[in-house]
């Protein structure tokens, strides 16, 4: 049985995004396959420094309060890596690890140092890149610094894992890597995790009347998620509807682009026709898919597209941008969802109107999607991941970053 150390800057109950959920589900699924998994992460004084959760041994380093200023964030990350490295060295005195796996640039330095110290392979999973998040504009601090760390990390790793074939090509191109060093393993989903609140009818009544249709936009409110396109597409639909066929929208999430989106909605005359919820917990989040008539994922940059997968698993029809990993989550052919030309608000408007007015289409897509999501089972994803781990563990020791 192999023993693996996974580093992640977040792990439940510390959740800032999808990364924590991904690492938890993967770690627990690896345990089910017989792997001994340790996770090194951060936490506050209210959490145990070491505990077993779902069969995974979780080790937490204490952290100072996260700074609000972006310039200080880089220093905070450096301190976190130093603390993780110190904690990891102590773990190395207690356990012999066969492999170190790091998730994204936030833990790259600690992960690399620990793998070298343990003389074992170093695997990194790149969930997104700073280059992609900022459409290539990484010439200013801190984007330039983060991009540099990502490039160094990708070259140091013995193997890189990406969540889509799109991301494999993107990472290979941006960081000048041979694609043979990059394994594609998709994100997973467990429909049993998507548990709604008990009273969905009451929840829906907060946002739409019984005779109104509700369009859901969900995720981090940042520019690359493309919610500005969705608002632009919705404006003529909402204003052009007769009283008996009204459409409302619901924006769930928070982020740096929120105020701009609110201002745009105000300018388009939409504020009386929708709701900005802000950040919400998982129980309400999962319920929103159940009460919406349509979920729109209009991303400009999307490594994978977990929101679309969650919507499909919850019985909510979806429209996604024809870009990035969304093409793999929602394949062409109008079988499990609709796609629109990425960046084209007019075309998105056409697709929204079509979806909201074609009951037969919505029912067919929902039925097909319920089968499609089974392809993203965590047990299968863990098996694919373990195959990568086992291959590296069995390979002769090489200079870091040279294994192909």
Domain 3-188+377-394 fold is Rossmann fold (3.40.50)
Angle CA 200–201–207, to nearest 5: 95
- In whole angstroms, give the CA distance from residue 190 to residue 163: 16
- In whole angstroms, give the CA distance from residue 160 to residue 37: 19
* pTM of structure: 0.92
Tokens of 29: 């699924």
Q: Report H helices in 301-358.
A: 306-313, 326-329, 345-357
Burial of 400 (0-12, 13-18, 19+ CB in 10 A): middle
Domain 191-375 fold is Rossmann fold (3.40.50)
pLDDT digits (tens, 9 = 90+) for 275-288: 999 988 877 889 99
Q: Is the pLDDT of residue 320 over 50?
A: yes
Average pLDDT over residues 18-44: 96
Tokens of 132: 């992609």
Average pLDDT over residues 2-8: 98
Q: Is the pLDDT of residue 131 over 70?
A: yes
pLDDT at site 68: 75
Backbone φ and ψ of 176, nearest 5°: 55, 55
Give how far the C-alpha of residue 203 lies from the chain's centroid of Cα atoms, to the nearest Å. 26
Residues of the chain with CATH 3.40.50.2000: 3-188+377-394, 191-375
CB 18 within 8 A of CB 377: no
- In whole angstroms, give the CA distance from residue 365 to residue 136: 35
pLDDT more than 70, % of the chain: 97
């Amino acid at each position: 049985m192999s023993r693996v150390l996974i580093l992640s800057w977040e792990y439940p109950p510390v959740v800032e995004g999808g990364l924590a959920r991904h690492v938890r589900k993967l770690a627990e699924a690896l345990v089910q396959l017989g792997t001994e998994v340790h996770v090194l992460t951060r936490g506050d004084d209210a959490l145990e420094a070491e505990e077993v959760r779902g069969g995974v041994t979780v080790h937490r380093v204490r952290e100072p309060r996260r700074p609000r200023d972006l310039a200080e964030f880089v220093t905070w990350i450096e301190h976190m890596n130093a603390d993780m490295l110190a904690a990891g060295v102590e773990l190395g005195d207690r356990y012999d690890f066969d492999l170190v796996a790091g998730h994204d640039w936030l833990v790259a330095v600690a992960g690399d140092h620990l793998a070298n110290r343990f003389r074992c392979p170093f695997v990194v999973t790149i969930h997104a890149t700073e280059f992609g998040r900022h459409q290539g504009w990484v010439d200013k601090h801190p984007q330039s610094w983060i991009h540099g760390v990502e490039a160094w990390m990708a070259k140091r790793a013995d193997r890189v894992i990406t969540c889509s074939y799109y991301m494999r090509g993107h990472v290979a191109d941006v960081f000048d890597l041979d694609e043979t060093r990059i394994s594609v393993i998709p994100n997973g989903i467990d429909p049993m995790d998507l548990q709604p609140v008990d009273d969905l009818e009451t929840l829906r009544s907060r946002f739409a009347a019984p005779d109104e249709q509700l369009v859901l936009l969900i995720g981090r409110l940042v520019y690359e998620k493309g919610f500005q396109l969705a608002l632009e597409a919705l404006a003529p639909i909402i204003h052009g509807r007769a009283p008996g066929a009204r459409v409302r929208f619901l924006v769930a999430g928070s982020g740096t682009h929120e105020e701009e989106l609110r201002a745009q909605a105000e300018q388009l005359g939409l504020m009386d026709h929708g709701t900005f919820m802000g950040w919400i917990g998982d129980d309400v989040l999962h319920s929103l898919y159940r009460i919406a008539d349509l979920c729109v994922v209009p991303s400009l940059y999307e490594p994978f597209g977990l929101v679309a997968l969650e919507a499909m698993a919850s019985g909510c029809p979806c429209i996604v941008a024809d870009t990035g990993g969304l093409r793999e989550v929602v394949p062409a052919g109008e079988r499990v969802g609709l796609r629109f030309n990425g960046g084209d608000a007019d075309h998105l408007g056409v697709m929204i109107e079509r979806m909201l007015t074609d009951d037969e289409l919505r029912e067919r897509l929902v039925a097909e999607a319920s089968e499609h999501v089974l392809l993203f089972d965590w047990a299968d994803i863990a098996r694919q991941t373990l195959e990568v781990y086992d291959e590296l563990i069995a390979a002769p020791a090489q200079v870091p970053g040279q294994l192909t």
